[in-house]
Structure 1
Amino acid sequence: MVGRIFRRIYTFLIFLFLYAPIIVLIVFSFNSSKSRGVWSGFTFKWYVELFKDVEVLKALYYTLLIAVLSSIISTIIGTFAAIGIYGMPGISKKIILNLNYLPVLNPDIVTAVSLMTLFRFLRIEFGFITMLLSHITFSIPYVILSILPKLKQMNKHLAEAAMDLGATPFYALRKVVIPEIMPGIVTGALLAFTLSVDDFVISFFNKGAGVTNLSITIFSMARRGINPVINALSTLMFAGLLVLLLIINSRSSKSISERGDII
């Protein structure tokens, strides 16, 4: 009994430590004062000001556009790469997996400078394209690592059985393999999206004139004080992500229950 109470208190403290900063941010997004340490009254002023702030809205636009495009492209590339890696023989598979681990373990500053040097060498003009390409590059390894465990859990003979029954390789991939690893694909896509929205170092070194994202905009604000509209924007983004996760989890649970009913 005492051990159970201790575990619950310990778990509560862990989650409190993790979510206390977010709770404070949400609370102070409704603070009428610009101060981040003194509560002066409840207001929706900063939410109204958010939609009038051209600089923040422009940064949000590029942030979401690059995040969506990079997550879609990196998920497609990462899915086919993971399937290819899974089908490789022993030593080749180990070599490729180790090469895939390098960008994950590599410090962001090294990746950022390397990409910047490559773009300069190829004479690619810095701007939207370079930022998008850099986000795709650092997201692909994470997508691969998200999908590989699902491939290992899958019965490797499913695709062969489908082709024995007359399915083409592409049809077997689309109707058998992809549905089996879909949770890993969704996880990889969400991870790629979150990494893109969150990235600062790689974006900072590979951005161009007129193209920025939220992390760079907030960093530039830090010198003169963070605008409270950032609290409002962060609250809306957190709420949107929470709703998205709830929808995905409910659909996944529904899909699992439907499969159970069929079986």
Structure 2
Amino acid sequence: MIRSSDRDIRWLPGFNWITLCFFLFLYLPLIILVVFSFNATRSATVWDGFSLQWYVKAFSNDDIQNAAKNSLIIAAVSTLFSTVFATMAAIALGRNREIKHKTAFGGLLLLPLMIPEIVTAVATLTFFTAINLSWGIGNIIIAHTVFCIPFAYLPIQARLRGVDASLETAARDLYSDRRTTLLLITLPLLAPGIFSGAMLAFIISLDDFIITMMVAEAGSTTLPIYIYGLVRTGVTPEVNAVSTVLLGISVIAVLVSQWFAKKQ
């Protein structure tokens, strides 16, 4: 009989140190970035006192404001569309018994998660060029919507699996039509999963660089692209400040998404 203590891998030699090194490698650069965003001088490596001047300078920069506005607009609109499409797909595959080969359709829906993002970016750019699509930030919104659907779909699908289908059946037995059942029973029960998926889609869109870099046109600069342009001239506290703000938004969105996921 295998004891529970025998399954504990912490007895392996050096396991605790390996774990510590892993988390240091993962999070220490982020901590350094945040700390030096409050540096009083332009040095990105030598601490010389606490200051908020780089945040003031970043928020007063018109280019940064325009890039942030573009990022928020793109993320908000693409999140709305991708969440709607993901919800429709989850309900169709989870509740419609007439659809055949659901596993295949589900796999196709999640395929963008397995394809390298650079491949998706090149394919999207090629497609836009072939149809001569030039809608400014509209190009980015379309690309982000398609790319974010799988991220929104997974939490919604997980929530739908936990919803008792007999509740919807009971509503139909009480003479509720399909639309009323969807609006008053299914969607309210799916709300935590929908919100969690929307938060994931929002943060994926807000942070995306590769696809945005490929399909963005003049005047469609987003915050990640602008940060990349600043880094090419050297890392400064201003870059750290903008990156810290973006990191903070990402962390908050992920925490909110996890909180709603736990409510399931």
TM-score normalised over the length of structure 2? 0.84
Distance 1:122 1:245, change over 3 A: closer
Counterpart of 1:260 in structure 2 is: none
Describe the superposition over 1:38-75 as per-residue Cα deviations: whole angstroms up to 9, x where unpaired: 10111111011012212222111111110111111110
Work out whether residues 72 and 189 of structure 1, in 8 Å CA contact, stay in contact via their aligned partners in 2: yes
Q: Does 1:117 align with 2:109?
A: no
Deviates more, 1:150-159 or 1:63-72: 150-159
Q: Does 1:181 align with 2:187?
A: no
Q: Does 1:25 align with 2:64?
A: no
Distance 1:249 1:151, change over 3 A: closer
Counterpart of 1:35 in structure 2 is: 43
2:258 and 2:131 map into 1 onto residues whose CA distance is: 43
Q: How does 1:168-207 map to 2 (within 5 A)?
A: 168-207=177-216
Percent identity over paired residues: 35
Q: How does 1:150-229 map to 2 (within 5 A)?
A: 150-229=159-238
Count of aligned pairs between the two proteins: 254
Work out whether residues 126 and 206 of structure 1, in 8 Å CA contact, stay in contact via their aligned partners in 2: no
Counterpart of 1:259 in structure 2 is: none
Work out whether residues 29 and 228 of structure 1, in 8 Å CA contact, stay in contact via their aligned partners in 2: yes
1:199 aligned partner, one-letter code:
D
Q: How does 1:1-263 map to 2 (within 5 A)?
A: 16-89=24-97, 91-125=100-134, 127-243=136-252
1:155 and 1:13 map into 2 onto residues whose CA distance is: 44
1:124 aligned partner, one-letter code:
L
2:43 aligned partner, one-letter code:
S
Distance 1:183 1:251, change over 3 A: closer
Work out whether residues 44 and 236 of structure 2, in 8 Å CA contact, stay in contact via their aligned partners in 1: no
Superposition RMSD on alpha carbons, in Å?
2.8
1:248 and 1:197 map into 2 onto residues whose CA distance is: 15
Counterpart of 2:5 in structure 1 is: none
Deviates more, 1:167-176 or 1:185-194: 167-176
2:128 aligned partner, one-letter code:
F
Describe the superposition over 1:88-119 as per-residue Cα deviations: whole angstroms up to 9, x where unpaired: 45851011012112211111111111111111
